[in-house]
Chain A
């Protein structure tokens, strides 16, 4: 079974630009979550989509947005990039059995997209 794939693996952008990252979950998984990993803040939850609906959201500004398509593939978008947005962005997929308000089932992570903002 193919794992979670993320494209592109590396991106270099300049301040003020916008960027779109893509995530393809494991076949049959309906939940996709996004995390930001930085040396200073560690791993932080951005948002989760389940059946094309945002089910959970972390504490990030509105410049960070996402969506999920009917085939469960997900994209996240960051507008008006800032230097502090430089990070590894990780996508994770799961069956989504755990509903909001309870422990989740296992999440499988992709290799990440390394975003550098100059």
Chain B
């Protein structure tokens, strides 16, 4: 079935460092891909999305490109801030799961000043 694999955390970075969180997926057809962020004690917030191959989603300095050939949707940010500390989830929505989002396990990011 459809699945999402993302890198294990935690990821610990200093402020202004470059961030990459890897995400790969397995799905039939052309799923939509998402990155969600969860701050402590809160629900999930959509960070960015891409609905077709080669689309680049971007928001708040974060970017991710939908790569069909490598079935990947890696999250990147050029310069992280302490306020970016959170748990990041890669997710997909595909034909097999219908209206359900399939999530990766989540990656905890901790940024120190």
Contact = CB atoms under 8 A, between A and B. Distances in A.
Contact of A56 (B41, B45, B99, B105): B99
A99 B95 CA distance: 10
A59 to B, nearest CB: 10
Interface in A75-116: 90, 92, 96, 98-104, 106-112
Q: Report, as a range, how many residues of chain A touch the other chain.
A: 20 to 34
A45 interface: yes
A56 B104 CA distance: 20
Q: Report, as a range, how many residues of chain B touch the other chain.
A: 20 to 34
A118 interface: no
Interface in A48-65: 48, 50, 55-56, 58
24 contacts: A4-B43, A42-B103, A42-B105, A42-B106, A45-B100, A45-B101, A48-B99, A50-B99, A56-B98, A56-B99, A56-B100, A58-B100, A92-B101, A100-B99, A101-B98, A102-B95, A103-B30, A103-B32, A103-B94, A104-B32, A106-B49, A109-B43, A109-B45, A111-B41
Interface of A: 4, 31, 33, 35, 42-45, 48, 50, 55-56, 58, 90, 92, 96, 98-104, 106-112
